[in-house]
Amino acid sequence: MKIKETNLRLYNPFLIIYTLLCISVTGQTSLLVFIPGKQNTVQVKDGFNKLIERSMVYNRIKDFDSALAASPDAAVIAPEPFFAFTPGYKIVLSGKTGSTTGEKYHIITVKKDVTTGNISEKKVGVVDFLGKDGLSRFIKDQFGFEIKTLKRANKEDDLLTMLGMDAVEAIIVSETQYREILSNTKLPIMIIASSSKSFGFLTYGIKEGKKNESQKKKLLKAPVGLLNQIGIEGWDLR
């Protein structure tokens, strides 16, 4: 009789559900990396998985948002504007290149008749790093006006193509993206507006109220090659 009772306890459905939930929680993603517009996500994911278990890497805001919903307690590496416009995170590390820890965003065009006075009515391209509502808030906050028609791209390379083919009249880029575009085109690029403040490069943050010293230490020891793949050279403590 005792053996039968023990077997019944082993197959208790509530015990099974509890066990499955524990496994699910234990296996949740621990780090989400968002590198909008980049195409090297496979290599970056391999690098982060060797450094930190259960890391995931995304280059599209839609996929990143879904991952955030599925792993709400995961730490995040993303462009600093994500943290500026997403409450509930504490920034721990800021990416840097050389001694530089931040950069401005610019609205650039090749058309002399596009100005800050009429840009609101123009079609403007941007790699989506905040989602539709977040981008609108970012533009209003940093440039002081709204843009009615935003064409959101998934790849950085698409921006120059959109501009060259007149699919848009202007594009919004970071200073880093602006320099890359200048080196890859002979188009007469002009900056017509710059953000009111500088933002950090990729930034590491954790949910408020949580600590993860082990993960932070691993990131501080990340290989230079991996950091270069995500566009930085090192980390500064915040």
Q: Closest Cα to residue 226, out of 23, 61, 35, 75?
A: 35
For residue 124, pLDDT over 90 is answered with: yes
pLDDT-derived band at 16 (thresholds 50, 70, 90) equals very low
Separation in Å, CA 35 to CA 39, 120, 203: 9, 27, 11
Three-class secondary structure of residue 53 per DSSP: coil
pLDDT of residue 29: 86
Q: In the chain, how long is the greatest CA-to-CA distance?
A: 90
Mean pLDDT calculated for residue range 181-199:
94
Give the CA distances from residue 50 to residues 53, 90, 124, 222, 223, in Å, rounded to whole numbers and listed in that order: 7, 25, 39, 10, 10
Q: Is 174 helix (H, G, I), strand (E, B) or coil?
A: strand
CA-nearest of 4, 51, 12, 9 to 31 is: 51
Instruction: Read off the pLDDT of residues 130-167 as tens digits, 9 standing for 90 and up.
Output: 998 999 999 999 999 999 999 999 899 899 899 989 99
Burial of 57: CB neighbours in 10 Å, binned 0-12, 13-18, 19+: buried
Would the pLDDT of 43 be above 90?
yes
Tell me what pLDDT residue 206 has: 97
Name all domains of the chain by residue range, CATH numbers in brackets. 2-100+200-237 (3.40.190), 105-197 (3.40.190.10)
DSSP label at residue 188: -
At residue 190, what are phi and psi to the nearest 5 degrees?
A: -130, 140
Q: Give percent of the chain above pLDDT 90.
A: 79
pLDDT confidence of residue 75:
97
User: Which tokens belong to 175?
Assistant: 């200073």
The whole-chain average pLDDT of the chain stands at: 88
pLDDT at position 27 is: 58
Lowest-confidence segment of 22-26, 121-125, 185-189, 209-213 by average pLDDT: 22-26
What is the average pLDDT across 50-64?
95
pTM: 0.85
Q: What is the pLDDT of residue 92?
A: 97
Higher pLDDT residue, 188 or 1? 188
| pLDDT score for 151 | 96
Q: Using the predicted structure, report yes or no on whether residue 219 has a pLDDT greater than 80.
A: yes
Average pLDDT over residues 53-71: 95
